[in-house]
Amino acid sequence: MNSQHIFRDFDKAIDALKGEVITMASLARQNLERAMRSLLERDIDLARTVIADDSDVDDLERKIDQAGMDILVRFHPMASDLRLVITSMKMAHNLERISDHAVTIAKRSKKICKSSPLEEASLAEPLYSMADSILRDALTAYTDSNAELGESLKARDKELDQLHKQMISSLSARLEDSNGRAENLLHLIFVARSIERIGDLAVNMGEDAVFLGEARDIRHDHRKPSSQKPTLLG
């Protein structure tokens, strides 16, 4: 919102809440980027850093939930303010799960790094690039209340799902003739699954940005024959 609140403490509280979400998003993305780099560059220390830093993301989730509750109690937000508080708390929840997936990737990476180099690891790179691009736009949709951008992410996630399927079938085919690399290939399949899940979580955030910007609830729209009345929490 460009307009200011008459009660300026409300502006400060809202700005602080948004700031915390943006900080959390940066940390979650950084954790994901480091987890992938540890896999692709075979860097075990980087994987350990990701696992250690996840607690910072967890702390931020708690902090954002508390700040959101404080705003609800103190300022009784209405309309777009109310949607911003609710969306911010949901963003925090999704970001925490994304960071958990980064930890999963880091743990698998550590195991893969302990064996001889796995050339198939590079298959995960384009998958990651696509997921991270969706994630980046989900965050922009939130910060700019850009419903159009938020709504566009679902289609891109379908492309990600397609790429994920191709990668899984390629890895599965190699499993049959893996020459002792089966365990690492399985680790890589789980890495791919985590990246695919990150795409889903980014889509959730895009849907929340649509609610934030236009008060429309587009979740589970594929199951609805027609558009329904917007609801606050569904």
Angle at 58 between CA 52 and CA 193, to 5 degrees: 75
On whether the CB atoms of residues 144 and 125 are closer than 8 A, the answer is no
DSSP assignment of 151-199: HHHHHHHHHHHHHHHHHHHHHHHHHTT-TT-HHHHHHHHHHHHHHHHHH
DSSP assignment of 19-68: HHHHHHHHHHHHHHHHHHHHHHTT-HHHHHHHHHHHHHHHHHHHHHHHHH
Contacts (CB under 8 A) with other proteins, residues 9-28: 10
Binding of other proteins by 219 (CB under 8 A)? no
- Interface residue with other proteins, options 5, 111, 174, 193 (CB under 8 A): 5
CB of residue 76 to other proteins, shortest distance in Å = 6
Structure tokens at 88: 């911010």
Binding of other proteins by 83 (CB under 8 A)? yes
- Interface residue with other proteins, options 16, 72, 82, 118 (CB under 8 A): 82
Q: Which stretch binds other proteins (CB under 8 A): 20-28, 74-82, 139-147, 178-186?
A: 74-82
Q: How far apart are CA 94 and CA 88, in angstroms?
A: 10
Binding of other proteins by 77 (CB under 8 A)? yes
Residue with smaller CB distance to other proteins, 3 or 116? 3
Q: Which stretch binds other proteins (CB under 8 A): 4-12, 19-27, 65-73, 166-174?
A: 4-12
CB of residue 10 to other proteins, shortest distance in Å = 7
Binding of other proteins by 90 (CB under 8 A)? no
